[in-house]
């Protein structure tokens, strides 16, 4: 059983789905994939991300859909009397048992990067935004995973995945801002008011918007959870008075935090853990998320069963003043790239005057394994003349801390989730332009926490941009072979984290 608690059977079906997607990619040589094939490719990849789809029947349905799309591109292939194997499904055991560890490592990097990028492409597609370059790369990348290639052929494709993912994140950034407005700094309370409510997890803003529309006038409040926290900063979402605050902390604490919850929970994307019996009857899924026995809201997006459950359970009888991991009663989010760049002048002057000595981007995924307190300790120990940017679920380790201000700005600026990394990159590029230097010459260090596939594609985008001296931990990805790791260390100075004190001393001198 894997770290996300999927059974061996489910993992095997996910391998079959991945093999079918490679077969679909192979079949594109015989025809031009259309919108339905693109959707099947992106949905299938997204469904194999950690903590998304645990439902065997759902995965079997996706396999059938993918094979049907392949049949459109290669008609009668399965009944051909002269099989050429050019559009066969791929046997994933060939990858996991690949004798060349560098080839296995690079193919894994590419596959996991494609899975992460699929999440961003899915959300943009939901808002009506897609890009032919991005969509075509999914097929090229998946074809390469099933290709007998040398490591020297794969490394450029892995770096290209980072380039294409940057474009994909740009699309999503544009789609979210176009639909819901430019994020603005917003104080978010952790207090839950009395009365019926719904908790929404994941980061599909469109699902949240539809839920807010459907709860209007129903006497049901809505609270974000986990990756949905940044939604409060979007003006068109924040305008709904029933969007009240944020419930709970990071994804890995949900089984404890949801145990006695008198409300339903709606999962819109990943970070679903197997629901405990104490609240399993109150879990709803939608989109790519599925779990056996859980109620699933289909493409019609009728959330009335969720709303009825909220009204039936009734919520808390009086307000609950919840806190973050460090005891804080709330947090501030919404320091998107426009909000930060609007203050670029004072930031530049603060650096020139010495008021700001260094910038840290402390972000990435979170998890339950020991060692992740490193990030809380790092932020606590960072000197008062340093400014900290953060994004991703890792911020729940410290986002309720009051670190004071610097140059008229809070020292801790929450830029959103992993899908908001494009904005952080644009801030770095803009600051480099303002100082007339390269990004690597800025007093900026990235300190990233590692967990799942979206972290892979963002890391690849950073490496594509040539960003060096990235600290990553608390452990390095297990699928990185020594040979590939050495290339990343030598080429990009990728550095494993040690202790906060030692790393801060090394960075700041």
**C-alpha span between 23 and 161 (Å, rounded):** 20
Residue 215 belongs to what H/E stretch?
A: helix 205-215
296 annotated as a binding-site residue: no
**C-alpha span between 197 and 191 (Å, rounded):** 12
Domains of the chain: 8-180 (1.20.1270.20), 186-321 (3.40.50.2030), 335-508 (3.40.50.2030)
Contact between 177 and 243 under an 8 Å Cβ cutoff? The reply is no
452 annotated as a binding-site residue: yes
Q: How is the chain split among helix, strand and coil, in percent rounded to 5?
A: 50, 15, 35
**C-alpha span between 66 and 47 (Å, rounded):** 13
Contact between 414 and 362 under an 8 Å Cβ cutoff? The reply is no
What does the pLDDT profile of the chain (509 residues) look like in tens digits?
A: 766 788 999 999 999 999 999 999 999 876 689 999 999 999 999 999 989 999 999 999 999 999 999 999 887 666 565 555 567 899 999 999 999 999 999 999 999 999 999 999 999 999 999 999 999 999 999 999 999 999 999 999 999 999 999 999 999 999 999 999 999 999 999 999 999 999 999 999 999 999 999 999 999 999 999 999 999 999 999 999 999 999 999 888 899 999 999 999 999 988 899 999 999 999 999 999 999 999 999 999 999 999 999 999 999 999 999 999 899 999 999 999 899 888 888 899 999 999 999 999 998 777 666 667 899 999 999 999 999 999 988 889 899 999 999 988 999 999 998 878 899 999 999 999 999 999 999 999 999 987 678 888 999 999 999 999 999 988 888 889 999 999 999 999 999 999 999 999 999 98
365 annotated as a binding-site residue: yes
70 annotated as a binding-site residue: no
84 annotated as a binding-site residue: no
Q: Please, how many CA atoms are within 13 Å of residue 437, restricted to the half-sphere of its CB?
A: 10
- DSSP β-ladder status, 283-286 and 265-267: parallel
Give pTM, 2 decimals: 0.94
418 annotated as a binding-site residue: yes
The alpha carbon torsion through 46, 48, 49, 51 (nearest 10 deg) reads 120
Residue 190: C-alpha distances to residues 172, 249, 487 (Å):
28, 10, 44
413 torsion bin: left (phi>0), alpha (psi -120 to 50), beta (else): beta
């Amino acid at each position: 059983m894997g770290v996300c608690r999927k059974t061996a059977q489910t993992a095997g079906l996910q391998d079959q789905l991945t093999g079918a997607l490679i077969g679909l990619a192979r079949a594109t040589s015989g025809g031009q994939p259309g919108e339905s094939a693109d959707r099947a490719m992106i949905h299938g990849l997204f469904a194999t991300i950690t903590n998304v789809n645990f439902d065997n029947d759902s995965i079997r349905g996706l396999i059938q859909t993918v094979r049907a799309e392949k049949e459109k591109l290669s008609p009668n292939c399965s009944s051909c009397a002269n099989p050429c194997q050019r559009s066969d499904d791929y046997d994933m055991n060939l990858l996991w048992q690949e004798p060349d560890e560098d080839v296995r490592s690079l193919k894994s990097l590419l596959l996991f990067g494609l899975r992460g990028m699929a999440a961003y492409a899915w959300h943009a597609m939901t808002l009506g935004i897609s890009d032919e370059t991005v969509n075509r790369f999914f097929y090229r990348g998946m074809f390469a995973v099933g290709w007998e290639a040398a490591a020297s052929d794969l490394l450029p494709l892995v770096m290209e995945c980072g380039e294409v993912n940057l474009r994909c994140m740009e699309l999503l950034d544009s789609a979210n801002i176009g639909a819901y407005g430019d994020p603005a700094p917003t104080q978010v309370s952790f207090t839950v008011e009395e009365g019926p409510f719904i908790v929404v997890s994941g980061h599909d803003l469109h699902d949240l918007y539809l839920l807010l529309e459907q709860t209007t006038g129903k006497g049901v409040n809505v609270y974000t959870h986990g990756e949905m926290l940044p939604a409060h900063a979007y003006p068109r979402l924040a305008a709904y008075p029933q969007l009240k605050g944020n419930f709970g902390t990071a994804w890995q604490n949900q089984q404890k935090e949801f145990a006695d919850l008198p409300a339903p929970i709606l999962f819109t994307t990943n970070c679903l853990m197997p629901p405990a019996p104490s609240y399993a009857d109150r879990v709803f899924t939608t989109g790519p998320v599925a779990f056996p026995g859980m109620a699933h809201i289909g493409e019609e997006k009728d959330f009335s069963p969720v709303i009825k459950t909220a009204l039936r359970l009734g919520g808390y009888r009086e307000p609950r003043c919840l806190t973050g991991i460090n005891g804080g009663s709330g947090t501030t989010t919404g320091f998107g790239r426009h909000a930060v760049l609007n203050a670029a002048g004072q930031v530049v002057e603060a650096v020139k005057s010495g008021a700001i000595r260094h910038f840290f981007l402390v972000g990435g995924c979170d998890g339950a394994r020991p060692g992740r307190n490193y990030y809380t300790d790092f932020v606590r120990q960072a000197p008062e003349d340093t400014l900290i940017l953060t994004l991703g679920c890792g911020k729940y380790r410290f986002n309720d801390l009051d670190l004071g201000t610097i140059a008229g700005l809070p020292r801790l600026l929450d830029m959103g989730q992993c899908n908001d990394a494009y904005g952080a990159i644009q801030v770095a590029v803009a600051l480099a332009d303002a100082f007339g230097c390269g990004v690597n010459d800025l007093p900026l260090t990235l300190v990233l926490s590692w967990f799942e596939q979206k972290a892979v594609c963002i890391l690849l985008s950073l490496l594509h941009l040539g960003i060096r001296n990235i600290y990553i931990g608390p452990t390095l990805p297990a699928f990185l072979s020594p040979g590939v790791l050495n290339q990343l260390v030598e080429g990009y100075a990728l550095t494993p984290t040690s202790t906060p004190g030692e790393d801060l001393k090394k960075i700041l001198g």
